[in-house]
């Protein structure tokens, strides 16, 4: 059996003599034998125990837990699982701090501003969802909305943000949700939707509305990309095709009254804040980001309001 003096053990393990002596005095690595002069000697098992101690210490595990591992009271796997979970919580805490600091720095926040950002960033998962649900409940309260539309809104709540980008998105979304002007705008849009539903001005459904939005992104977005002037003759057939799509979607007839009605809805709906809300929610929930419909909708609105159309 190979035996090693404490100096040799230190060289073989990369630890200092003082550290080896400390672990030995603590009973973690008892000497395998002693010389006639009383000096400690260590064997291969001692080297293995020191390697394990060093590894666990490098991973941030305390000596009390290491003692339990060496005694057989806890397994390495058990300790690793517990420490990994604790480390995940610490990492999440650091991510929140980083998101708050970045958001505050980018917006030159003052003492009140950074305190508010910090509070929003540290809300629990349930509190985050309740904050967004509160916006929907306030905006939809007392209104007769399309059931499918109301169900969709009730399910579009933020997941738990984990990555730094998701945390940044959450902070911005929380600020947006708390903006009185934004809340008033959402309420107004819901009221308009309910009024159209009650009057029969809009008898469409979610699928037909989705197709109409896709048509705007495709046709109006393409015209915008090609720099087609919305007041030009080249815009007229694009507008006619889009109006026909919307008329079918809302089960209306393409006439002057419908075009006026459509322009009013586009004007209210082409709100950058609403589009931003959906993009932020998608970022938090890890879903694919939808194309921004606002520029294309504004192009169509300008075309509809052009006296040449």
Confidence of residue 204 (pLDDT cuts 50, 70, 90): low
Q: Are 171 and 120 in contact (CB under 8 A)?
A: yes
Which sequence spans correspond to the domains of the chain?
A: 4-74, 88-118, 125-305
Question: What's the pLDDT tens digit per position in 244-281?
Answer: 999 988 888 999 999 999 998 888 777 888 888 888 99
Residue 140 neighbours by CB under 8 Å, 6+ apart: 150, 153, 190
What is the torsion angle, in degrees rounded to the nearest 10, for the CA atoms of residue 64, residue 69, residue 72 and residue 77?
140
Q: pLDDT at residue 33 above 60?
A: yes
Q: What are phi and psi of 5, to 5 degrees?
A: -75, 165
Place of tokens 């293995």: 48
Measure the N-to-C terminal CA separation of the chain; round to a whole number of Å. 98
Q: What is the pLDDT of residue 308?
A: 59
Average pLDDT over residues 282-291: 82
CATH number given to 4-74: 1.10.1660.10
Contact call for residues 281 and 206 (beta carbons, < 8 A): no
pLDDT in tens, 85-109: 988 888 888 888 888 888 888 888 8
* Whether the predicted pLDDT of 287 surpasses 90: no
């Amino acid at each position: 059996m190979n035996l090693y003096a404490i100096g040799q053990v230190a060289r073989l393990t990369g630890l200092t003599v003082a550290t080896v002596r400390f672990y030995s005095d603590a009973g973690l690595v008892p000497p395998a034998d002693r010389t006639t002069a009383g000096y400690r000697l260590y064997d291969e098992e001692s080297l293995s125990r020191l390697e394990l101690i060093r590894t666990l210490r490098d991973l941030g595990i305390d000596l009390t837990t290491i003692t339990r591992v060496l005694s057989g009271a806890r397994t390495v796997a058990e300790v690793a699982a517990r420490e990994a979970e604790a480390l995940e919580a610490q990492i999440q805490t650091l991510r929140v701090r980083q998101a708050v600091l970045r958001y505050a720095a980018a917006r030159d926040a003052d003492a009140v501003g950074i305190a508010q950002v910090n509070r929003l960033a540290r809300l629990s998962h349930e509190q985050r969802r309740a904050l967004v649900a509160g916006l929907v409940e306030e905006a939809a309260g007392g209104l007769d909305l399309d059931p499918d539309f109301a169900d969709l809104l009730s399910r579009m709540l933020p997941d738990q943000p984990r990555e730094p980008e998701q945390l940044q998105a959450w902070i911005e979304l929380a600020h947006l949700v708390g903006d009185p002007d934004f809340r008033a705008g959402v309420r107004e849009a819901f009221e308009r939707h309910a009024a159209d539903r009650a009057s029969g001005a809009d008898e469409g459904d979610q699928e037909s509305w989705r197709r109409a939005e896709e048509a705007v992104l495709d046709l109006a977005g393409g015209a915008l990309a090609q720099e087609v002037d919305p007041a030009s003759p080249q815009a007229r057939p694009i507008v006619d095709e889009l109006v026909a799509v919307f008329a079918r979607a809302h089960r209306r007839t393409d006439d002057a009254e419908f075009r006026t009605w459509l322009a009013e809805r586009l004007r209210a709906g082409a709100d950058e804040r609403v589009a931003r809300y959906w993009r932020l929610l998608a970022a938090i929930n890890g879903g694919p980001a939808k194309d921004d419909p606002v520029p294309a909708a504004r192009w169509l609105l300008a075309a509809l309001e052009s006296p040449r159309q």
